[in-house]
Amino acid sequence: MTHYSNPVLDADWPDPDAVRVGDDYWLIASSFNRAPGLPVLHSRDLVSWRHVANALPALPPAGHYTLPRHGSGVWAPSLRHHDGLFWIVYPDPDHGIFVLTAADPRGPWSEPWCLLPGQGLIDPCPLWDDDGRAYLVHGWAKSRAGVKNRLTVVEVDPGLRRAVGPARTVVDGDELPGFRTLEGPKLYQRDGWYWIFAPAGGVATGYQVAFRARSVWGPYEHRVVLAQGDTPVNGPHQGAWVDTPDSDDWFLHFQDRDVFGRVVHLQPMRWDDDGWPMLGDAGSPVLTHPTPVPGAEPGEPVRSDDFASPGLAPRWHWQANPVEGWAVADGGGTLHLPAQPTPRGNLRDQGAVLSQQLPGQPSTWETRVGLAGEAPGTRAGVVVLGREYAWAGLVRTPGGIEVTVRRGGTYGDEEVLAQEPVPAGATGVVLRTAVDAEGRVTWAWRDDALPGHDDAEWHEPAPPWQSVVGHWIGAEVGLFASAPLGADLRPGDGGTFGPMHVTVAGKDA
């Protein structure tokens, strides 16, 4: 009998929702300001996942997201299959609740449309009732709406185009002892009951609750069905109830791991004699368990990239809506990022940072970095990006090209941690970014441009740097090329990156 260990997705896949259609499981997650957004993952066994698509090429309104809007964008979405289509309903807390559809989750997806405009509407989930009517449950963000800790249901038309009735608060967390920050609701039906699964108590400290009622409008009774107990799994936060073709039940949820983001756990699920769900091991998260499909081999999405296929793989995203020309990926084994003018020189301001999530286990990222351009201040490298960031790479100075390590924050100039000359005649270096189990980052480089330098010595120019969590997300690893505003840039100026080889916990990833 094969077993899996939690988390089954040990990286930042926030606010997961999932459905099964036939023998296939599909999972989506929040993407916030990142574009393309709404990542779509596929599995046949719930423990081995592939990142196959992104449903949202750019965030609406397009003009608003030409700049990085850290913490905004796509919050907790829901995924459903109805009437032959896959439906994603997602909130943008500053603009409203949006919908998009596809016949195949791999795409193409429709252009999103706004179902409910407004600020502070979050965490929506639709339900098509047996009588043909449709409902939407959602929560509230106090930062925008002034209220939180309540769940609201509104009747909508079956095409999810408009509300057709008044919204009603069906659960007020302020009336429930000990409840705070009730959010992330998912709406289901089973055995004549309407069910709302929702977390309360905060992202890093809360618990999972099940509500049930005979009417979608309530009154709802509730039980806490999953809590940390004496396990190391803090949270455990919102997620998805799915079943197998053999009618076994499972629950996917996330755990907040700070700099590593919101990682995804899989819990067994059964029903007690009173018809209430029982998650995990008597309400506590399991750390290991037999796989849902015997013989299944747990596996994470691929992170390495040989850049041998034209275009960017789904694993990559930008920090804002992308502009044509930000990347040249012709499939020849290298990636070119033209240098982008950056007014303050701060990488948190730069949308053209091509990123992936930071894995939840020690990881090493290795790539060759080259720099073209004569304008002083032109630079290219690898950044670990959160509310603060640090990067290592190449910078053009009046005296030539140098290897540098720098760090920056939300405000102020970057601090130079190290700067060393590139060996004469070299046009690039091999750069290694190593992240340990605590999120500490160590950069190293070696010359790989001259004949006979395959075994050149690695240099560690700066002491380890502690990575920092992002705004509602974990830290990210990114590639970039930039230059000072007003620099005399010419076609071809920027950074060139060779194949990216990633290992996680010592294994190819």
Sequence-distant (6+) residues with CB within 8 A of 358 are 11, 12, 259, 260, 261, 384, 435, 439, 467, 474, 475, 476, 477
Q: What is the dihedral of CA 404, 409, 413, 417, to 10 degrees?
A: -30
Pick the closest to residue 382 from 463, 498, 300 (CA basis): 498
d(CA 117, CA 94): 9
d(CA 478, CA 464): 18
Contact 479, 495 (CB under 8 A): yes
Contact 404, 419 (CB under 8 A): yes
Sheet containing strand 262-271, edge to edge, reads: 237-243, 249-256, 262-271, 277-279
d(CA 260, CA 254): 12
d(CA 212, CA 37): 32
Does residue 183 carry a catalytic annotation?
A: yes
E-strand spans in 312-459?
Answer: 335-338, 340-342, 354-357, 363-372, 379-385, 389-397, 400-408, 415-421, 428-435, 440-447
Does residue 300 carry a catalytic annotation?
A: no
Contact 337, 241 (CB under 8 A): no
SS3 347: helix
Q: Which of 10, 12, 15, 366 is catalytic?
A: 15
Q: Which of 10, 12, 123, 183 is catalytic?
A: 183
Sheet containing strand 96-102, edge to edge, reads: 78-82, 85-92, 96-102, 113-117
E-strand spans in 6-160?
Answer: 17-21, 24-28, 37-43, 50-56, 78-82, 85-92, 96-102, 113-117, 121-128, 134-140, 150-156
d(CA 75, CA 29): 8
Instruction: Note if the bond before 61 is cis, omega within 30 degrees.
Output: yes
Other C-beta atoms lying within 10 Å of the C-beta of residue 206: 27
Sequence-distant (6+) residues with CB within 8 A of 412 are none
d(CA 240, CA 16): 7
What is the residue whose two structure tokens read 């979608």? 216
Give the catalytic positions in this structure.
15, 183
